[in-house]
A and B are shown apart, each in its own frame.
Chain A
Amino acid sequence: MRQKKVLAVASAGGHWVQLLRMAPAFSHHTVHWMSTNPGLDAKIPCGGFVAVRDASMWDKPGLLVMAVQVFWRVLRLRPDVVITTGAAPGYFAVVFGRLLGARTIWIDSIANAEELSLAGRKAGRWAHHWLTQWPELAREGGPHHIGAVL
């Protein structure tokens, strides 16, 4: 199998913890990581980590900076696959990744047990694979359920 370039994205905190739990699904490829807290690179043994500006969906100027940073990274990297648990940086990575030809996978956070996150709803039209960790939230046209990190 050809080695792929995988860009794995999650904002710091719960999203990041969940993404790390999925690492064995893609660690046989070349993985580049992206999050919102520079201190997280300690978890990534061999480099390939970049931090972008932290911003919530309610901080528009912050989001704009983040979007530009994510766009630049995706443009430089040209990943084959983008995989993310959210939130805002994952959304941008899915959008830009898709536009630049990557296969995109959104796994909505397990914290969203009753409804998808805002970013998760928006990501639906961009992600090739739009997934929820709760079977109750799965729908015919997506999000789909194939399992959970716990």
Chain B
Amino acid sequence: MIFVTVGTQVAFDRMMDVVDAWAARTGQDVFAQVGPTKRAFAHLRVAEFLDPADFDRCFQDAGLVIAHAGMGSILSALSFGKSIVIMPRKAALGEHRNDHQMATAKRFEGKAGVSIAWDENDLAELLDQLDAAIQVDRPDRISSSAPEVFLAKLRELIDH
């Protein structure tokens, strides 16, 4: 199962259209959390929202995650040890309030387990390449907590 998530605030149909077309071409089993959209995606199983427990189950079961470039999606995928393809939202297209997802995507360029699709053409291309390679490039699970050096410094501030 391929799990797709666009977060819970705003729809991201520009990404969903590409995924839908890809599923139509390849017959992949795709489950997508699509947010508040008016659109239908004929080749995907969809939910508008998922509760947090279902979210975790989907990450757990996914062979691959496709998501907007939100930190929650990225951190979740990596802590479940899943490869993730991210596509940043663009403020100019009304997809977010600012372009921080572009910045996030830039920071994750070249990181193991994370592939970046800068736009819909990129995503279509990436998915076609991945088609054959799904489940091959599994990243190591990241720890479920922050690095100990950071935690130690925070602990100092809190215990002070």
* Chain A residues within 8 Å of B, Cβ to Cβ: 1, 4, 6, 12-18, 20-26, 29, 37, 39-40, 42-43, 56, 58, 81, 83, 103, 105, 107, 109-115, 117, 129, 146-150
Contacts and interface: CB of A to CB of B under 8 A. Distances in A.
B158 A105 contact: yes
Given A6-B158, A58-B97, A113 B146 contact: no
A17 B75 contact: yes
Interface residues of B, number: 36
Contacts of B150: 22, 25, 146-149
Contact of A114 (B52, B103, B146, B154): B103
Interface string B43-70: 0000000011100000000000000001
B142 interface: yes
Interface string B126-160: 00000000000000001011110111111101111
A57 B83 CA distance: 32
Contacts of B154: 22, 25-26, 83, 105, 107, 146-147
B113 interface: no
Nearest to A83: B158
Contacts of B8: 12-13
Nearest to B157: A129
B145 A111 contact: no
B146 A14 contact: no
B100 A111 contact: yes
A2 B35 CA distance: 44
